[in-house]
């Protein structure tokens, strides 16, 4: 019975893949669909019907277009300052192999406003780190990331800025369980917990919010040498070292060559230069965004 059930599930999944490819073909977007790994698409098709998956993939593309537009208006110096501050960076994995993004609010984050050059720079820097973690995940780990939030200095957080970041991450991370949020409740009681209660009332299946004690978080980390020194606030932990592992080749955002769809969602595949050239064309992205009839309901 188990083998029959397996064959039925495989047949159903295969037919869903075929339907998704047919939808992409009707939009002449087979090349775009081909930049997502089969494993990632299979994960989405296991959660949503093909037309809904296509809608979410189009939303990914539109979010990437929005990020590219940000880069032309953001404060590039402040963007670099955020990444080099050591407040937010990727380091290490949990025991399941998921990359970890260590995060705390930067100084005076509450003074930033969405749409301003510095506000755009902050949002772009945070989203860059999420996408960098995605593309550096192990090959057998599909679309999952652990975000560990701490605030030992009890810094204030802008709800408006948090909502902008969360909206973009929601569009860029269409699969449920893409991100696991871990809060250090000793550091963030009544702070981020309140913000996420406001931001994610209907997203609980997408962003797994887990409020954890310090010891629970320590046991989650595969190598405790990866924990930043600011996490403890008492001299323990490792100092931040800016390198490819922690902040990636962020200069690409400054030079107008940001990450492509394939680099983020299918990083272990061989790059097809012709297809990537098309996806890097902002004019093509804009036309596609206007032509596709997207189902935006959740």
Secondary structure of residue 128 in the 3-state scheme: helix
Query: Going by DSSP bridges, is the β-strand pair 99-103/88-93 parallel, antiparallel, or unpaired?
Result: antiparallel
Domains contained in the chain, CATH given = 66-257 (3.40.525.10)
How large is the C-alpha radius of gyration of the chain?
19
Q: Determine the pLDDT at residue 104.
A: 83
Distance CA 152, CA 18 (A): 50
Distance CA 68, CA 131 (A): 13
Report the candidate in 174, 93, 78, 94 with the shortest Cα–Cα distance to residue 126.
78
Q: Determine the pLDDT at residue 82.
A: 92
Walk along the chain (298 residues) and give the pLDDT tens digit of each residue. Answer: 555 554 555 455 568 888 999 999 998 888 899 888 888 888 888 889 999 999 999 999 899 989 989 999 999 999 999 999 999 999 999 888 889 898 887 777 667 888 899 999 999 999 999 899 888 888 777 657 788 777 666 666 677 777 788 788 888 887 766 667 666 655 554 455 555 565 555 554 444 555 556 677 778 888 888 988 887 766 677 889 999 999 999 999 888 787 888 888 888 776 554 444 444 444 444 444 444 444 434 4
Q: Determine the pLDDT at residue 12.
A: 56
CB 17 within 8 A of CB 54: no
**Torsion-angle region of 237 (φ positive above 0: left; ψ -120 to 50: alpha; else: beta):** left
Is the entire prediction scored with pTM above 0.85?
no
**Torsion-angle region of 110 (φ positive above 0: left; ψ -120 to 50: alpha; else: beta):** alpha
For the chain, the helix, strand and coil percentages under 3-state DSSP, each to the nearest 5: 55, 10, 35
Secondary structure of residue 277 in the 3-state scheme: helix
């Amino acid at each position: 019975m188990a083998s029959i059930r397996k064959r039925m599930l495989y047949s159903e999944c295969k037919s869903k893949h075929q339907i998704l490819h047919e939808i992409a073909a009707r939009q002449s977007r087979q090349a775009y669909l081909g930049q997502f790994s089969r494993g990632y698409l299979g994960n989405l098709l296991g959660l949503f019907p093909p037309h809904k998956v296509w809608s979410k993939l189009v939303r990914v593309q539109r979010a990437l277009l929005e990020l590219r537009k940000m880069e032309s208006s953001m404060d590039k110096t402040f963007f670099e300052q955020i990444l080099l501050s050591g407040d937010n960076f990727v380091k290490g994995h949990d025991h399941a192999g998921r990359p970890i993004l260590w995060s705390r609010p930067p100084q005076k984050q509450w003074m930033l406003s969405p749409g301003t050059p510095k506000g755009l720079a902050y949002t772009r820097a945070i989203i860059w780190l999420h996408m960098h973690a995605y593309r550096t995940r192990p090959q057998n780990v599909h679309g999952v990331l652990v975000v560990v939030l701490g605030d030992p200095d009890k810094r204030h957080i802008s709800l408006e800025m948090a909502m902008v970041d969360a909206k973009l991450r929601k569009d860029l991370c269409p699969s449920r369980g893409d991100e696991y949020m871990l809060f250090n409740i000793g550091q963030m009681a009544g702070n981020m917990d309140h913000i996420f209660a406001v931001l994610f009332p209907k997203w609980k299946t997408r962003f797994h919010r887990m409020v954890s004690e310090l010891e629970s978080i320590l046991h989650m980390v595969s190598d405790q040498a990866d924990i930043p020194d600011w996490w403890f606030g008492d001299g323990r932990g490792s100092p931040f070292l800016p390198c490819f592992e922690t902040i990636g080749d962020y200069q690409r955002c400054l030079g107008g060559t940001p990450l492509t769809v394939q680099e983020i969602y299918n990083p272990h595949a061989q790059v097809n230069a012709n297809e990537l050239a098309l996806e890097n064309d902002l004019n093509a992205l804009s036309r596609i965004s206007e032509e596709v009839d997207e189902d935006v309901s959740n």
